[in-house]
Amino acid sequence: MTAQNFAPALARVLVHEGGYANHPQDPGGATMKGVTQRVYDAYRTRRNLTKRSMASIEEADLQAIYRRQYWDAVKGDKLPAGVDYVAMDGAVHSGPSQSAKWLQRALGNVKVDDVIGEARLAAVEAHPDHDQLIALMIGRRLAFLEALRTWPVFGRGWASRVAQVKQIGQAWATGSVGPQPAFFLGGNAKATIDQAKPLPAKGPADATMPR
């Protein structure tokens, strides 16, 4: 439905991800343009290519990795403008399954799992206000980030990134362009569920962190 949005969405994600990064408290480890060495190794192994440092990643490899592992994983081609970019940025930052859950929970009344299937796509298409849907997705994402133990270190950068992703996504949803993307220090640090703060034991009625 919006296959043409892959290139502009990727361009904005790459601004958020920056170049080479290796913060000692980033659980994702070293990255180059958002790609970790583990991801690059797996990509080259699948193609029977010799492994090499992600610091020298080629443009064709970068494009292929982002399309297959993030854009395609959240069904970017089948999502409405704005929702596609927001879902992709979330997938790059916190993993495709986590981004899928934010979208599903924002929709409400759909089964929440790791995949954006046909039923979810139909629900997105039928949603009367994609601008509002994006706001709900971003709200879920921010609550998730705030519940991570690395929030004190990267929270300022994450919050700035997420706020801009919301602005751009909502602009696309309403047929506008939105602000030019910017890089925010710390905003490129990976934010995954394994960083969740441990919850105090409360018995069977334990609350769970926002996901």
Residue 205 lies inside a defined structural domain of this protein: no
pLDDT digits (tens, 9 = 90+) for 128-165: 999 999 999 999 999 999 999 999 999 999 999 999 99
Residue 63 lies inside a defined structural domain of this protein: yes
Split at pLDDT 50, 70, 90, the class of 207 is very low
Residue 203 lies inside a defined structural domain of this protein: no
| Nearest-angstrom CA–CA distance, 118 and 107 | 14
Low-confidence winner among 7-11, 129-133, 192-196, 206-210 (lowest mean pLDDT): 206-210
CATH of the domain at 7: 1.20.141.10
pLDDT higher than 50, residue 206:
no
Low-confidence winner among 8-17, 24-33, 186-195 (lowest mean pLDDT): 24-33
**DSSP H or E stretch at residue 21:** strand 20-21
Residue predicted with more confidence, 27 or 124: 124
Residue 195 lies inside a defined structural domain of this protein: no
Total of domains in the chain? 1
Confidence at residue 25, expressed as pLDDT on a 0 to 100 scale: 87
Residue 208 lies inside a defined structural domain of this protein: no
pLDDT digits (tens, 9 = 90+) for 51-67: 999 999 999 999 999 99
Confidence at residue 65, expressed as pLDDT on a 0 to 100 scale: 96
Describe the strand order of the beta sheet including 20-21 as a list of residue ranges.
20-21, 31-32, 35-36
A 10 A CB-CB count for 205 gives: 5
Q: Is 147 left (phi over 0), alpha (psi -120 to 50) or beta?
A: alpha
Residue 174 lies inside a defined structural domain of this protein: yes
To the nearest whole percent, how much of the chain has pLDDT over 90?
Answer: 77
Structural domain boundaries enclosing 17: 3-184
